[in-house]
Amino acid sequence: MKFAVAPGPHTAPIASVPLTMRRVLYALTPAALAHVWFFGSGFAINFFVAAVTALVAEAAVLMLRRRPTRVPLRDGSAIVTAALLAFAIPPLTPWWIPAFGAATAIVVAKHMYGGLGRNLFNPAMVGYVVLLVSFPAELTQWIPPRMGDLDYEHLGFLAHLVYSLTGTLPPDFTIDALTRATPLDLVKEGLRSAQTYTEIRAGSLFGGVAGRGWEWINSFIALGGLYLLYTGTIRWHIPIMLLAGLLVPATLLWLIDADSFATPGFHLFSGATLLGAFFIATDPVSAAESDRGRLIYGAGIGLLTYCIRTWGGYPDGMAFSVLLMNSAVPLIDRYTRPRIYGRD
């Protein structure tokens, strides 16, 4: 009897890129729902716009590069980029902000470097940083969370959509009345103007450990991160070292001077700390390749984030830290190559 032959190993593969991306999206879902709950429908609109733009941009570039489009479009990597971008930008924002960010992420950060797997920098963070530097006004218009006792004027889905598309608010609403500084902004500004950390913390936007609403969204992000760890989608090296790199200096300095430095808990649950640790820095393409390298890579991001938050010009520094460490990856890889079995 004759049989067809095939090269080994014959065991079927136990992982796939689309599965990985799907898991990342599952893991982000609770946090996304929480985001919508606290900050209104803006997140959903931004995510939708970013996702559509990302897919269109991906298809267009692939066609220009004369590459097959079916497989890359279905692997979900563009959607993940769009989701991360939607988390990073303010909910109430014109439609072209997520669109521009997503297009930059896909076209410039991803395809100009050769497509998925070859990009040196994290696409979502490149998109965000380009937005942050180009449109600082739009990128700092955060609205306060929807909490019962805050004097928050609530915008419905339709109003969000209209603002996103046309830039007009319903009558009686002004953009200044709607937007507030983020907790990270408040801490930065407050400490700069010689307030003590405790005084700043007394503000109505602050909850148990960090910004109200924020702490919840970030808890859900941490939950998603634990799911990724549990399913083996990501490994512990980057998240743990990133958090350590951020929290160790935060704890030390807070212990030394509790008035001028924020608590480690505040750092942990504010801004993009947890999103960065579990979802952004763990992007395999732009991270270091060996386990040892990933320890250094993660710690570097955490440390840089703390430095930027504390002494830099921006309230949060996750995006910049990730990009800076991305650029250090070739160097890290070079010096953290594992010693081959049986060789000196």
Interface residues toward another protein, by CB under 8 A: 1-17, 19-20, 71, 75, 115-118, 235, 284-285, 287, 289-291, 294, 337-343
Tell me how far, at minimum, the Cβ of 305 lies from another protein, in Å.
23
When the beta carbons of 71 and 112 are compared against another protein, the nearer one is: 71
Q: Are 276 and 308 in contact (CB under 8 A)?
A: no
Tell me how far, at minimum, the Cβ of 22 lies from another protein, in Å.
12
Helix (H, G, I), strand (E, B) or coil at 209: coil
Per DSSP, the residues of 96-157 read HHHHHHHHIIIIIIIGGGTSTTT-SS-HHHHHHHHHHHH-HHHHT-BPPP--TTS--PPP-H
Tell me how far, at minimum, the Cβ of 342 lies from another protein, in Å.
4
Q: In angstroms, rounded to a whole number, what is the distance separating the alpha carbons of residues 145 and 168?
A: 21
Q: In angstroms, rounded to a whole number, what is the distance separating the alpha carbons of residues 37 and 104?
A: 28
Residue type, 136: P
Q: In angstroms, rounded to a whole number, what is the distance separating the alpha carbons of residues 106 and 6?
A: 37
Tell me how far, at minimum, the Cβ of 79 lies from another protein, in Å.
15
When the beta carbons of 203 and 284 are compared against another protein, the nearer one is: 284
Helix (H, G, I), strand (E, B) or coil at 211: strand
The single residue listed with the structure tokens 């969204």 is 217
When the beta carbons of 10 and 192 are compared against another protein, the nearer one is: 10
When the beta carbons of 157 and 236 are compared against another protein, the nearer one is: 236
Give Cα separations from 145 to 170, 173, 334 (angstroms). Answer: 19, 17, 45
DSSP state for residue 340 in the 8-state scheme: P
Tell me how far, at minimum, the Cβ of 246 lies from another protein, in Å.
23
Tell me how far, at minimum, the Cβ of 62 lies from another protein, in Å.
12
Of 212, 201, 185, 156, nearest to 313 by C-alpha is: 185
Helix (H, G, I), strand (E, B) or coil at 31: helix
When the beta carbons of 89 and 124 are compared against another protein, the nearer one is: 124
Tell me how far, at minimum, the Cβ of 33 lies from another protein, in Å.
27
When the beta carbons of 156 and 337 are compared against another protein, the nearer one is: 337
When the beta carbons of 14 and 202 are compared against another protein, the nearer one is: 14
When the beta carbons of 5 and 137 are compared against another protein, the nearer one is: 5
When the beta carbons of 192 and 343 are compared against another protein, the nearer one is: 343
Give Cα separations from 29 to 25, 54, 60, 83, 213 (angstroms). Answer: 6, 19, 28, 10, 16
Tell me how far, at minimum, the Cβ of 288 lies from another protein, in Å.
8
Tell me how far, at minimum, the Cβ of 295 lies from another protein, in Å.
13
Q: Are 92 and 297 in contact (CB under 8 A)?
A: no
Q: In angstroms, rounded to a whole number, what is the distance separating the alpha carbons of residues 170 and 146?
A: 18
